[in-house]
């Protein structure tokens, strides 16, 4: 296919993807589901598992193999910008303020799913067909443990904001614990990717490169960012020059972490966390998020959907494994966080709400498993199973939370400690 035809096809693809995402977004909003859930489902429906099964000829013409590279590149750009925004939204102050109670909830929400995920990984490695041949049990345990223990911090933040509990104790605790869970999961993934090559030199270079990057960002770049933030505070706005400078730093960080063998999203996230909070972080989010969330993120979901083939789950044994993965993910994460919250002194209703919120996995889960598929860690079969788990746990979060928290006659607010908080987009 010639370049001009690919460009013309890209515009048709964009029109179809955005139309389906917005249409489903309108429908899902009626049942109080966040837009990200609609976009996850849209990517799945437009892929081979539904559209390709229903109308294979039309789906093949709309998304031919020759066009997938363009979608991949745009989706990766979207991921970098998205994870940078997630880093800008990361609440270090909440982690510090609620560290004692949040550490307990986060530790339980990481340890229990990680252990049970590790047990499942060993079963899968022995059974075959879920991880690639070069994956050792150590890598399988770390990867599936991270996939089970992750919490979708952005989805969690938006649900909390939409329900009006952003400044309450329960909302702050859930955000702090979710932030810790995400950080731990990305560290586990970084360990897997850095050691997966089997080459000790490359593994050490990746680990050393990641540590070097974090050190440079927080000990060097952050001082420079402080000057940019001070200028933004004086002007109450971010200048065009500052915005371009931040984009250059973001591209540099994404390139470096990708070159050393981790992943570009790690560099984007770390840089976002390092940006001083105030006018600079606020305006960066306001500038970057609209285009990223409206255009580039749906392309990532589309690319994930094109890689998801439910027809690979073609036996009762695989469907049983899918159910086991889903139930293990829900029970280990939700029940562990509920128990930890109860032990920290939370009321039963509050603890159930925290456990439900922490069980959302969302886009962060899809990012993690897409990296696993691209780097040759998992097979398309396990990828499809984990996509179903990610969609299922995210879809169920909103309705379950409403059922628990917004009972008839009870206000959707907590009576606990209130903290100052900027509104989440």
- Does the pLDDT of residue 417 top 70, yes or no? no
> With bands split at pLDDT 50, 70 and 90, how would you rate the model's confidence at 420?
very low
- Gap between the Cα atoms of 182 and 214, Å rounded: 16
- Gap between the Cα atoms of 373 and 414, Å rounded: 41
If you average pLDDT over residues 385-398, what whole number do you get? 89
Map residue 131 onto helix, strand or coil.
strand
What is the H or E stretch that residue 94 is in?
A: helix 92-97
- Does the pLDDT of residue 313 top 70, yes or no? yes
Contact 10, 274 (CB under 8 A): no
Task: Indicate the burial class of 385 (C-beta count within 10 angstroms; 0-12, 13-18, 19 or more).
Answer: buried
Give the highest mean pLDDT range of 68-77, 227-236, 265-274. 227-236
Q: What is the pLDDT of residue 134?
A: 84
Residue range 334-360, pLDDT digits in tens: 899 999 988 888 788 888 888 888 888
- Does the pLDDT of residue 242 top 90, yes or no? yes
Residue range 185-204, pLDDT digits in tens: 767 777 776 666 555 566 67
Q: Which residues pair with 362 in a beta bridge?
A: none
Start-end of H helices in 196-296: 200-216, 222-235, 240-259, 264-274, 279-291
Contact 157, 86 (CB under 8 A): no
Instruction: Print burial letters for 25-60: b (CB count within 10 Å at least 16), e (below 16).
Output: beebeeeebbbbbbbbbbbbebbbbbbbeeeeeebe
What is the H or E stretch that residue 294 is in?
A: none
Contact 148, 365 (CB under 8 A): no
- Gap between the Cα atoms of 11 and 20, Å rounded: 14
If you average pLDDT over residues 68-93, what whole number do you get? 85
Q: What is the pLDDT of residue 174?
A: 80
Contact 147, 386 (CB under 8 A): yes
- Does the pLDDT of residue 364 top 70, yes or no? yes
State the helix-helix crossing angle for 169-195 and 99-127, rounded to 10 degrees. Answer: 40
CA atoms within 13 A on the CB side of 273: 21
Q: What is the pLDDT of residue 238?
A: 92
- Gap between the Cα atoms of 150 and 142, Å rounded: 12
35 compared with 223, residue with greater pLDDT: 223
Token pair of 184 as six digits: 């731990």
- Does the pLDDT of residue 116 top 90, yes or no? yes
> With bands split at pLDDT 50, 70 and 90, how would you rate the model's confidence at 106?
confident
167 compared with 190, residue with greater pLDDT: 190
pLDDT over 90, % of the chain? 33
Residue range 247-305, pLDDT digits in tens: 999 999 999 988 887 778 888 888 998 999 999 999 999 999 899 988 998 888 888 88
- Does the pLDDT of residue 11 top 90, yes or no? yes
If you average pLDDT over residues 395-418, what whole number do you get? 63
Q: Which residues pair with 131 in a beta bridge?
A: 378
Chain-wide mean pLDDT for the chain? 83
Global pTM?
0.77
Q: What is the pLDDT of residue 424?
A: 32
Residue positions counted in the chain:
425
What is the secondary structure of 290-309 as a DSSP string? HHIIIIIHHHHHHHHHHH--
The C-alpha torsion from 280 through 285 and 291 to 297, rounded to 10°, is 140
């Amino acid at each position: 296919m010639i370049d001009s035809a690919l460009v013309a096809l890209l515009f048709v693809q964009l029109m179809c993807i955005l139309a389906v995402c917005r249409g489903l977004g309108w429908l899902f909003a009626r049942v109080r589901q966040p837009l990200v859930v609609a976009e996850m489902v849209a990517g799945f429906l437009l892929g081979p598992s539904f559209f390709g099964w229903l109308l294979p000829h039309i789906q093949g013409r709309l998304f031919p193999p020759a066009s997938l590279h363009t979608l991949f590149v745009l989706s990766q750009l979207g991921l970098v910008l998205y994870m940078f925004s997630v880093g800008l939204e990361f609440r270090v102050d909440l982690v510090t303020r609620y560290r004692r109670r949040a550490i307990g909830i986060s530790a339980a929400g990481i340890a229990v799913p990680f252990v049970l995920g590790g047990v499942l990984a060993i079963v899968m490695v022995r059974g075959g067909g879920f991880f690639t041949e070069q994956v050792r049990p150590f890598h399988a345990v770390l990867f599936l443990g991270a996939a089970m223990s992750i919490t979708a911090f952005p989805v969690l933040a938006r649900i909390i904001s939409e329900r009006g509990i952003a400044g309450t104790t329960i909302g702050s605790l859930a955000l702090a614990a979710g932030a810790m869970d995400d950080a731990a999961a990305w560290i586990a993934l970084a360990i897997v990717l850095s050691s997966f090559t089997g080459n000790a030199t490359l593994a050490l270079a990746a680990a050393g490169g990641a540590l070097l990057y974090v050190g440079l960002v927080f000990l060097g770049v952050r001082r420079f960012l402080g000057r940019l933030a001070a200028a933004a505070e004086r002007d109450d706005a971010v200048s065009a020059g500052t915005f371009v400078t931040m984009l250059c730093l973001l591209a540099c960080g994404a390139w470096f972490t990708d070159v050393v063998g981790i992943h570009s999203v790690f560099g984007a996230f770390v840089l976002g966390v390092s940006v001083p909070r105030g006018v600079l972080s606020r305006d960066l989010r306001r500038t970057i998020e609209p285009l990223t969330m409206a255009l580039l993120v749906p392309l990532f979901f589309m690319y994930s959907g094109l890689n998801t083939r439910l027809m690979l789950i073609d036996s009762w044994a695989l469907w049983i494994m899918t159910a086991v993965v889903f139930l293990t993910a829900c029970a280990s994460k939700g029940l562990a966080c509920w128990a930890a919250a109860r032990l920290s002194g939370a009321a039963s209703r509050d603890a159930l709400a925290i456990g439900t919120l922490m069980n959302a996995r969302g886009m962060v889960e899809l990012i993690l498993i897409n990296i696993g598929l691209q780097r040759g860690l998992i097979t398309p079969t396990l990828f499809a199973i984990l996509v179903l788990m990610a969609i299922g746990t995210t879809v169920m979060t909103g309705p379950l939370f409403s059922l628990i928290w917004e009972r008839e006659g009870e206000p959707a607010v907590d009576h606990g400690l209130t903290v100052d908080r900027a509104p989440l987009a």
